[in-house]
Amino acid sequence: MTASNGVDLVLRWVAGVFVVIMVAMICLQVAARYGFSSPPAWTEEAARYAMVWVGLLGASISFKAGFDPALMRMSPRSATTVRVLTALVRASSVMIFLAPVLWYCFFGPGMNTARSFLARSLVTTAETFDMPSIFVAASVPIFIVAIFLHGAAKCLSIFGDEQPHKEAH
């Protein structure tokens, strides 16, 4: 699916940027700690926030690439019915786990948007520098929507694949 591939490409690029930021912050912290005995406090927090982005985006990239943990890997040569059933179980599992998380990103108790995860992140700031926490919290719904898109693309790809060929003996 083209949309899934496009999103994956963008997320790979963004994750790469955050890896560079994370490594740069860690290097700056180490150099300041051992070179000047006084590391800036914000470098640790910036590296931690970059790691959150890398971890969540990396998880969606891994899901798309098929590197995520699985109880059992299905062969592309398996019967279409078996592949459809396993795709449904996988999609259901992902939805059961991630749909409530996505819901509470936007809605709090009583469907109150002001009490949602993202709304609360708008009014909180980082400890060591004046940055709203929304810049970190936004990674959660982005990750979930990407997982849903990649999952839908995987489910639809089952129907686009050719039927398994029987080998001649």
**pLDDT tens column, 58-117:** 999 999 988 877 666 677 677 778 877 888 888 888 899 999 999 999 999 999 999 999
The residues that bridge with 125 in the sheet, in sequence order, are 132
Question: Is 50 within 8 Å of 18 (Cβ atoms)?
Answer: yes
Nearest to 119 by CA among 131, 109, 134: 134
Q: Residue 135 pLDDT > 70, yes or no? A: yes
> Tokens 């890997």 appear where?
73
pTM: 0.83
Q: How many residues does the chain have?
A: 169
- Residue type at 27? C
Q: Residue 164 pLDDT > 70, yes or no? A: no
Question: Is 25 within 8 Å of 160 (Cβ atoms)?
Answer: no
